[in-house]
Amino acid sequence: MLSGGVYAVEAEEAGRVRTITIAVDRYGPMDQQARAALQQQLADAVKVLQAQANATRLIAKLVGPAVVHIEAEVLGRRALQHGAARPVEEAGSGILVKLAGKTCVFTNRHVIAGASPEKVRISLADGRIIQPLRIWSDPETDVAVMEVGVEDVVTAPLGNSDEVEIGDFVLAFGSPFGLSHSVTFGIISGKGRRDLDLGDSNVRLQDFLQTDAAINPGNSGGPLVNLNGEVIGINTAIASSSGGNEGVGFAIPINTFLFTAKQLVEKGTVTRAFLGVTLDARFDYQAAQQAGLQQLVGTRVVTVTPDSPAAKAGLQPGDIILRMDGKLIENDAHLITLVNMSEVGKEITLQVLRNGQMLDVKAVLVARPQNPAQG
């Protein structure tokens, strides 16, 4: 070695020996001044990381006391020989919130489905174990709300999931594998995830946030939190071939959760809006091009229900609905979700492509009849 990572190598070529100088990128000698400069650069970089670490610590301290561990004795899906269902223990997470003047726990329906209040145990961060007074749930969204009869508890602030953007930092709280009050860190990886196969959950109305924050069995029902310490989602599911975290987790946006939860608490049931169309699930890129669209957006109307809001608004089979209240429609499932998550009696504006012409169509939504196949 000549100096500071520079080497001289002798090589034989056609009977002659020649010297080749090679510079190797490696840690070489460093004088005190260079080391001091490097140390300062490191200190500056660490300050940024420490600020982030301090922020996550503060969020954990703020939200952690409101996170709960849930155990429920529910009826198993497989019957015994004598026809009785086998009781099984389900475990998950939840978050304490204030809703309609009540102290409630938000969680997933599949965590406590079929369990009566006396079969549910809620472990608080301070070690107390309580039971819910009432349980409400909605199978179409996997939403569950439990009213608890305690006031001396910390409740978490709720954010606005409509403001969430891909790339936002988030923290997931819960009890993975029974390890209560665990926290993981990640980002929002995607929005508007639909048509997911969630096994036995059978969630029809899907509009999930996707995150790479580690979500494992037991995290279901726990909060997904932004950097302001606000709940912006309720962790629901993972996409995994192993049953554990593989960097693809899903959460119900808190605005979607609240829309359902408020109705459950206030009136004990959920009334969903109805437009009155069936939609073409096979509407593809080729069909969009034939209609004059440059990209695959929107959804095509197949039939219009007589005397429905769609019929009264003048919608016709073959219409391609591109926007609802200015929001671009991605596919049939997207429109169905938007309609079902709208207030009954709301007037909506649909941008429609019909025979090459753009039209604005106004419709007043009514309560949905018992036919979930339509939007």
- Round to whole Å and give the CA distance between 137 and 92: 15
Model confidence at 14, pLDDT cuts 50, 70, 90, reads: low
- pLDDT value of residue 78: 45
If one counts every other C-beta atom within 10 angstroms of the C-beta of residue 221, the result is 30
Could you tell me if 285 and 274 are in contact, meaning their C-beta atoms sit under 8 angstroms apart? no
Could you tell me if 223 and 63 are in contact, meaning their C-beta atoms sit under 8 angstroms apart? yes
Angle at 31 between CA 30 and CA 35, to 5 degrees: 75
CA 195 to chain CA centroid, Å, is 13
Percent of the chain clearing pLDDT 90 (strictly above)? 59
In the predicted structure, residue 257 carries a pLDDT above the cut 50: yes
In the predicted structure, residue 298 carries a pLDDT above the cut 80: yes
Range with the poorest average pLDDT among 13-27, 165-179, 195-209: 13-27
In the predicted structure, residue 227 carries a pLDDT above the cut 70: yes
- Round to whole Å and give the CA distance between 331 and 248: 22
Structure tokens at 42: 């490191």
- pLDDT value of residue 31: 80
Mean pLDDT over residues 324-349, rounded?
A: 93
Q: How far is residue 303 from each of residues 315, 350, 374, measured CA to CA in Å?
A: 9, 16, 10
Q: Which residue has the higher pLDDT, 178 or 289?
A: 289
- pLDDT value of residue 30: 73
In the predicted structure, residue 121 carries a pLDDT above the cut 90: yes
Could you list the active site residues? 110, 142, 220
- Round to whole Å and give the CA distance between 276 and 306: 8
Mean pLDDT over residues 151-172, rounded?
A: 94
- pLDDT value of residue 114: 79
Q: Among 16-30, 88-102, 310-324, which range has the highest average pLDDT? A: 310-324
SS3 sequence, 267-311? Answer: HCCCCCEECCEEECCCCCHHHHHHCCCCCCCCEEEEEECCCCHHH
Q: What is the mean pLDDT of the chain?
A: 85
- pLDDT value of residue 15: 56
- pLDDT value of residue 201: 56
- pLDDT value of residue 28: 63
If one counts every other C-beta atom within 10 angstroms of the C-beta of residue 269, the result is 9
Range with the poorest average pLDDT among 113-117, 170-174, 241-245: 241-245
Task: State pLDDT tens for residues 320-334.
Answer: 999 999 999 999 989
Q: Which residue has the higher pLDDT, 352 or 194?
A: 352
If one counts every other C-beta atom within 10 angstroms of the C-beta of residue 112, the result is 28
Beta strand extents in 81-168 (DSSP E only): 85-99, 102-108, 120-123, 129-130, 132-138, 143-148
Model confidence at 32, pLDDT cuts 50, 70, 90, reads: confident
Structure tokens at 290: 């034939």
- pTM for the whole thing? 0.79
Model confidence at 33, pLDDT cuts 50, 70, 90, reads: confident
- Round to whole Å and give the CA distance between 123 and 101: 22
- pLDDT value of residue 17: 56
- Round to whole Å and give the CA distance between 170 and 213: 7
The radius of gyration of the chain from alpha carbons, rounded to an integer in Å, stands at 28
Model confidence at 8, pLDDT cuts 50, 70, 90, reads: low
Mean pLDDT over residues 43-62, rounded?
A: 90
- pLDDT value of residue 216: 78
167: DSSP letter: T
In the predicted structure, residue 47 carries a pLDDT above the cut 80: yes
* Maximum alpha-carbon separation in the chain: 98
Q: Which residue has the higher pLDDT, 255 or 6?
A: 255
- pLDDT value of residue 241: 45
Structure tokens at 298: 């929107």
Could you tell me if 193 and 209 are in contact, meaning their C-beta atoms sit under 8 angstroms apart? yes
Mean pLDDT over residues 16-29, rounded?
A: 57
- Round to whole Å and give the CA distance between 114 and 83: 17
Domains, the chain, in order of start with CATH, read 39-267 (2.40.10.120), 273-367 (2.30.42.10)
- Full DSSP string of 52-92: HHHHHHHHHHHHGGGEEEEEEEEEEEEE-TTSPEEEEEEEE
Task: State pLDDT tens for residues 196-219.
Answer: 665 555 667 778 899 998 887 778
- pLDDT value of residue 161: 94
- Round to whole Å and give the CA distance between 363 and 305: 13
Q: How far is residue 361 from each of residues 20, 249, 312, 356, measured CA to CA in Å?
A: 78, 37, 10, 15
Could you tell me if 147 and 104 are in contact, meaning their C-beta atoms sit under 8 angstroms apart? yes
Model confidence at 175, pLDDT cuts 50, 70, 90, reads: confident
In the predicted structure, residue 164 carries a pLDDT above the cut 80: yes
Q: Across the strands, what pairs with 75?
A: 87
